[in-house]
Amino acid sequence: MSDGANGQILNVTDLHTYFPIKSRGLIPRTIGQVKAVDGIDLALASSETLGLVGESGSGKTTAARSILRLVEPTSGQIELDGQDITHLNSSAMVKVRRKAQMIFQDPYTALNPRHTVGGIIAAPFRVQKVEPPGGVRAAVMELMERVGLNPEHFNRYPNEFSGGQRQRIGIARAIALRPRLIVCDEPVSALDVSIQAQILNLLKDLQREFGIAYLFVAHDLSVVRQVSHRVAVMYLGHIVETASQEVIYAAPLHPYTHSLLSAIPIPDPAQQKKRNRILLQGDLPSPINPPSGCVFRTRCFQAQEKCAAEIPPLVELEPGHKVACHFPIAKPPESVVVSTTEEDEAVMAARRDSGPVDSGAMPH
Amino acid sequence: MIGVEEVEGRAQHSPERPFLSVENLAVQFKTEDGIVQAVDGVSFSLERGKTLAIVGESGSGKSVTAQAVMGLVKAMGGIVSGEIWLDGQELNGLSPAEVQALRGAEMAMIFQDPMSSLHPFYRIGDQIVEAIMAHRKVGKGAARKEALEMLKHVGIPAAERRIDAFPHQLSGGMRQRVMIAMALINSPQLLIADEPTTALDVTVQAQILELIRRLQGEFGTTVIMITHDLGVVADVADDVAVMYAARIVEQAPTSETYYHAQMPYTLGLLASIPRMDRGQQDRLDPIPGNPPSPIHLPPGCVFQPRCKYWEQVPESAGHCKTDRPELLASGAGHSVRCLLPTDARRQISQEVLQSLRGEG
Amino acid sequence: MAGYVVRRVVSMTLLLFLLTLTVFFLFNMMPADPARLTCGKACSPAIIEANRHHLELDIPPIEQYQRFVGGIFFGRTFSKDTPRPIECEAPCLGYSFLRNTEVLTLIARAAPVTFWLAIGGFLTWMLIGLSLGIVSALTRGRWVDRTIMGIALVGYSLPSFFIGLVLIFFVILDWNLLPFPQWTTPDKDLGRFLQTMILPWITIATLYAAFYMRLTRNQVLEVFGEDYIRTARAKGLPERVVVLKHALRAGLTPIVTAAGLDLAGLLGGAIITENIYSLPGLGSLSIGAVLASDLPVITGITLVTASLIIFANLVVDLLYAVVDPRVRVG
């Protein structure tokens, strides 16, 4: 296996994924578009983890699925291991899936309840027609052992396992063919904290052992920090800031990143009470009708007139640190509360009425 | 065994009792697989205006405890024993009608998923009006006016229009604000918030926690916050009760819990969460194994099968596998359910918490 | 909402048009030859040919269909070139040469019977099904619930011809509690009407009631598990309000759908029940028409029944939108 250009496993350029909104009636017409992913670039090297964070409706899950072509991207280019997979047909994609696998959020629905665990983990061998040395059964049992499952439970069904164990089954299935990339979509958010840590450690160990690259999609910034080398922050279909893990968490420049970090309560009561708080008002605007200019400006404490007029490009302000903001800021003002005045309420109301705003309306 | 006279004697108003006092609460559910002991001998108390966080993982019994306090467990077919004292009145012995009169008036509750917790067929204003008129004799017009005021108060923009909206027309954060408005409309003294922000995004979570804090200050409400998120606990709680497998295993003031936790499970939790406020750890230190089935709880300490330290318990203190530890005082306001001697626990606590800090 | 109604009415009209097309050609392709059937015993190819012309079957099917649809809107004349032409006014669903009557007249004669049978049966089963279903849900797991579910199981497994025959045998023949059924309209002789209809109602209601008991029970239990029921209790609402206002409204809404469609289906005729009790309703009419290969009648009844169901569908959907605000958005 050879790496692509610059030793990269994954190279995503200008990816757009729009979902058409159809009118109801006899002959549905496209009356609008949900701009779930609106032009993002991503790159990932082997043994590297890129954390993709954002709130619900930010487009992070759609982005992840588009990269594996589980959702058809509208435009852009996806290069996996030096091969352009953007327009491959489905039979060619089957081969690609040997190199790129996915782990899902909900360990309860991602596994077919009528198949045994052994059958589930062996599925990639069957689909790809791979005969591992020593036979499929031995390979599956080895995988189970590797992810911390008892190989004797080969013939059990998923409902006999706890949430954490089911996620281990999903991981065993994903690593069966030694993929180069695994897209992890909220892999631990359905798990209890004591189990989360087990799974995060397992993912790290597997990366070390097999050199897997992870695209790690999650809303929990502390989890993302634990596993990521680099982090990209998404808001309303755009990447607003990306940098190394250390920089994102210690020295962010985008007002949204500041707000996100300050919104997460830290498990230390004395520190938590002393912290700066930036309290964003309202919810994410509708991705059908995003704000003009900078998508974050409607909730931003830095917003000025320019932000409504011009879209801020994602520019490299420091080596490896890119920010899409007209007014990046290293240290936000103390305890910002973007206050809700009458005027803001009117703006918010107008925004909320401009379409199905609920993040629940977003196709995932 | 408690004699009949004693029960009657205790049922009388006792001024020295704290505002809320739960004593030896137990809840059982009969299922096809056997009896589920959802809550097992839970006791805690709470002073007026304070916030108690009950922390635990799924299945630990924290939600059932809260619902038992609200008197909601019996309607779900649960068997409740023990005593629940709210403002000098024992609730578990009351008739269903008497508890119903207190629910929504003296004590109120908000839930994890604000979408499914609001009735999809009724306008939010009508749902709040219903809560008012269930407890007070006011006209519909006056109740509606009050509902509108409350919606404004909890920060619903354009409340005049939103009052006639259906739940599905609001965002998750707005719905939780509506739930809070509905819960606080009759100025209850006790608010139980069951994972109120778990289904919300962090920026919205921050808004909702801020709102609860503000309203608590205004109304002097006593709050029980049920959560699995140790960050949320650190943010809002005065006291913390840690539940594991139907029991409270440790209880202490918040800072004591974070800086001097003694129960191996609490320490395990603190060690296993990834932390933003400290340097990136290479590996987390998870609690091995899985929680026990609530149908087959271990006879001794419920945490023993996952505990790293149970072999350090001296013989004189008992056997973790067979002897059930009691929740015993270990310092001011701090109680722990563990057979390890106090000195040993403090030693372990210091080592674990210091190593956590050491990474920072 | 208005736009929604308009869209639904338009699509309903389109569907009805497709329906006439399907029904017409489906029955036209049947192997039976009406020209031969109307011919009688002394039959010769010449007479069949003449009949074919007389029945307007000697023209291309498309044209036959045009005349058929034209008849519905503008009326038509049968046996034009004979001394006794038959004027069939709009809406003309055809003419039964076997019975020498307009199809619409036949249907209009039979429809009231079926209407009363269906309505009475419907009310009976809804009353029994809903109330016992709710009681069953509220007493889940206790002996009341088990008894009701036992009854439902029995009712569900008894075929209606069996129930009908057993009822006739015991109630009418053996115990002489009721006279033998003889159809009359309620305005002419209410007592006789009730005496005639009570057993058919019970016969029809048994199967449906059993089905609705189970449906209602499941629906109500499902709703009781919903978070908003917990909220209603947490608000301190009396259990009566929780059950009636919060649980039942949500739980019974889907039942409206099922009930509306079942009623519409029944309005097309209950073949077995009508036959057992000798009720001259649409069911009896259709079975007679099928046995006699009376194509115009079969076509007519099918069209009327299908229209009823399509219409019921619309009504049910509109009702649903009134009850559940989430449906209204589109």
Determine the pLDDT at residue A332: 84
Task: Express each pLDDT in C90-116 by its tens digit.
Answer: 888 888 888 888 999 999 999 999 999
| Residue C12 sits at the chain B interface (C-beta within 8 Å) | no
Measure the CA–CA gap between B182 and B104, rounded to whole angstroms. 9
Sequence-distant (≥ 6) Cβ neighbours of residue C147 within 8 angstroms: none
User: C287 and C319 in one domain?
Assistant: yes
Chain C window 199-228: which residues touch B at a Cβ cutoff of 8 Å?
A: 226-228
B159 neighbors A346 (Cβ within 8 angstroms): no
Chain B from 240 to 299: CB within 8 A of any A CB:
254-255, 258, 268-270, 272-277, 280-288, 290-291
**What's the CA gap between B109 and B99, in Å, rounded?**
14
CA distance C290 to A15: 63
Q: What per-residue string of b and e applies to B194-210 under the rule 16 or more CB within 10 Å gives b?
A: bbbbebbbbbbbbbbbb
Note the pLDDT of residue C319: 83
Residues C131 and C255 in one domain: yes
Instruction: Report in angstroms the alpha-carbon separations of B118 from B111, B121, B170, B342, C115.
Output: 10, 9, 11, 47, 41
DSSP 8-class letter at B5? H
CA B121 → CA A244, B1, C247, distances in Å?
Answer: 48, 49, 11
Torsion on CA atoms C128, C129, C130, C136, rounded to nearest 10: 100
Closest listed residue to residue C293, CA positions, set C26, C91, C33: C33
Among C108, C94, C125, residue whose Cα is nearest residue C282? C108
Looking at residue A289, its pLDDT comes to 85
Enumerate domains of chain A plus CATH numbers.
5-25+32-240 (3.40.50.300), 252-312+321-361 (no CATH)
**pLDDT of A116 higher than 50:** yes
Residue C46 shares a structural domain with residue C123: no
pLDDT in tens, B56-103: 988 899 999 999 999 999 888 899 999 999 999 999 999 999 999 999
What the block records as the tokens of B359 is 């990474």
**Residue A343 to chain C, least CA–CA distance (Å):** 28
- Coil, strand, or helix at residue C103? helix
Separation in Å, CA C325 to CA A303, B117, B169, C251, C328: 38, 16, 10, 15, 5
Residues C217 and C123 both lie in one domain: yes
- Quick check: C11 contacting A, CB < 8 Å? yes
Helix residue ranges, H only, chain C: 2-28, 34-37, 45-54, 61-74, 103-138, 143-157, 160-167, 190-224, 227-234, 239-241, 249-267, 271-276, 282-291, 295-323, 325-328
Q: Is C291 exposed, middle or buried (0-12, 13-18, 19+ CB in 10 A)?
A: exposed
Chain-chain contact of C236 with B130 (C-beta, under 8 angstroms): no
CATH of residue C225's domain is 1.10.3720.10
Instruction: Give the architecture-level CATH label for domain B23-242.
Output: 3-Layer(aba) Sandwich (3.40)
Q: Which residues of chain B have pLDDT under 70?
A: 1-15, 358-360
Determine the residue of chain A that is closest to C4 in CA distance: A25
Both C55 and C84 in one domain: the answer is yes
- Model confidence at A62, pLDDT cuts 50, 70, 90, reads very high
Q: What are the backbone angles phi and psi of residue B20, rounded to the nearest 5°? A: -125, 130
What confidence score (pLDDT) does residue A3 get? 43
Is the minimum CB–CB distance between B234 and chain A shorter than 8 Å?
Answer: yes
Cβ proximity of A28 and A36 under 8 Å: no
- DSSP-based three-state secondary structure for C148: helix
For CA atoms A293, A296, A297, A303, the dihedral sign is negative
At what angle are helices B172-184 and B202-219 packed, to 10 degrees?
Answer: 10
Among residues of chain A, what percentage have pLDDT more than 90?
A: 64
To the nearest whole number, what is the mean pLDDT of chain C?
86
Which residues of chain B lie closer than 8 angstroms to C232, CB-CB?
119
Summarize pLDDT for C196-241 with one digit per residue, the tens: 899 999 999 998 999 999 999 999 999 999 999 999 999 999 999 9
Q: Which residues pair with A21 in a beta bridge?
A: A32
Please say if the pLDDT value at position A65 is more than 90.
Answer: yes
Structure tokens given for A71: 């959702």
Same domain, residue pair C234 and C202: yes
- The shortest C-alpha distance from B201 to chain A (Å) reads 6
Q: For chain C, give the percent of residues with pLDDT over 90.
A: 28
Three-state SS for A127? helix
Strand partners, B335: B251, B329
Task: Return d(Cα C294, Cα C299) in angstroms, integer.
Answer: 9
- C305 in Cβ contact with C49 (< 8 Å): no
Measured CA to CA, the distance from residue B104 to residue A360 in angstroms comes to 29
How far apart CA C4 and CA C18 sit, in angstroms, is 21
- d(C-alpha C19, C-alpha C17), whole Å: 5
Strand order in the sheet with A238-244: A100-103, A181-185, A213-218, A49-53, A230-235, A238-244, A321-323, A315-318
Of B195, B202, B235, give the one whose Cα is nearest residue A221: B202
What pLDDT, on the 0 to 100 scale, is given for residue C322? 80
Nearest-angstrom CA–CA distance, A167 and A53: 20
Mean pLDDT of C241-267: 88
3-state SS, one letter per residue, for C303-323: HHHHHHHHHHHHHHHHHHHHH
Residues C150 and C288 in one domain: yes
Hey, are the CB atoms on C14 and A26 less than 8 Å from each other?
A: yes
- pLDDT band at residue A54 under the 50/70/90 scheme: very high
Chains in contact with B, where contact means 3 or more Cβ–Cβ distances below 8 Å, are A, C
Nearest to B191 by CA among B219, B167, B210, B163: B219
- Is the same domain home to C291 and C193? yes
Q: What pLDDT band is residue C310 in, cutting at 50, 70 and 90? A: confident
Contact C327, C321 (CB under 8 A): yes
**Number of A–B residue contacts, CB under 8 Å:** 152
B117: nearest CB among C228, C236, C326: C228
- Asked if residue A355 has pLDDT above 60, the reply is no
Q: Please indicate, yes or no, whether residues C177 and C231 belong to a single structural domain of this protein.
A: yes
Alpha carbon separation from B181 to B104, B151, B167, C282 (Å, rounded): 12, 6, 14, 58
Type of residue numbered A167 = Q
Helix (H) or strand (E) holding A318: strand A315-318
Contact at 8 Å (CB) between B294 and B36?
A: yes
The pLDDT, as a whole number, for residue C1 is 65
pLDDT tens per residue across span C43-89: 778 888 887 787 787 888 888 888 888 888 888 888 777 788 888 88
What distance in Å separates the CA atoms of residue C103 and residue C99, rounded to the nearest whole number? 9
**A25 contacts on C by Cβ (under 8 Å):** 7
Res B159: pLDDT: 94
Considering only CB atoms, B290 lies closest to which of A164, A279, A352, namely A164
> Considering only CB atoms, which chain A residues are within 8 Å of C1?
none
Tell me the pairing of strands C76-78 and C86-88.
Answer: antiparallel
pLDDT in tens, A85-97: 999 998 899 889 8
Burial class (CB in 10 A: 0-12, 13-18, 19+), B177: buried
E strand or H helix at B329, and its extent?
strand B327-329
Q: Go through C138-156 and write b for each residue having 16 or more CB atoms within 10 A of its CB, e for each that does not.
A: beeeeeebeebbebbeebe
> What's the pLDDT tens digit per position in C118-173?
999 999 999 999 999 999 998 888 899 999 999 999 988 888 888 888 888 888 88
| Banded pLDDT at A27 (limits 50, 70, 90) | low
C234 in the same domain as C140? yes
Three-state DSSP class for residue A202: helix
Last residue of a domain, one of C49, C71, C103: C103
Identify the domain boundary among C43, C76, C103.
C103
Q: Peptide bond before C280: cis, by omega within 30 degrees of 0? A: no
Dihedral sign from CA coordinates of B139, B141, B145, B147: positive
| A25 contact C CB<8A | yes
Residue B304 to residue B297: CA distance in whole angstroms:
11
Q: Which chains touch C (3 or more CB pairs under 8 A)?
A: A, B
Cβ <8 Å between C14 and A25: no
Option in A222, A263, A283 nearest B275 (CB): A222
Q: How far apart are the first and last CA of chain B?
A: 52
pLDDT for A349 equals 42
If one counts the domains in chain C, the total is 2
C149 shares a domain with C62: no
Q: What is the pTM of this model?
A: 0.85
Interface of B with A in 177-216 (CB under 8 A): 201-207, 209-210
Q: Are residues C93 and C117 in the same domain?
A: no
CB proximity B233 to A under 8 Å: yes
Listed residues C53, C88, C103: the one ending a domain: C103
What are the backbone dihedrals phi and psi of residue A185, each rounded to the nearest 5 degrees, phi first? -100, 100
Residue numbers of the domain that contains C76:
2-103
Angle at B233 between CA B347 and CA B357, to 5 degrees: 40
Query: How confident is the model at residue B5, as a pLDDT?
Result: 39
Tokens 């005082």 belong to B329
Residues C300-329: b if buried by 16+ CB within 10 A, e if exposed: bbbbbbbbbbbebbbebbeebbebbbeeee
Spans of all domains in chain B: 23-242, 262-358
Chain A residues with CB under 8 Å of C10 CB are 26
Which residues in chain B have Cβ-Cβ distances shorter than 8 Å to C235? 103-104, 108, 130-131, 134, 182
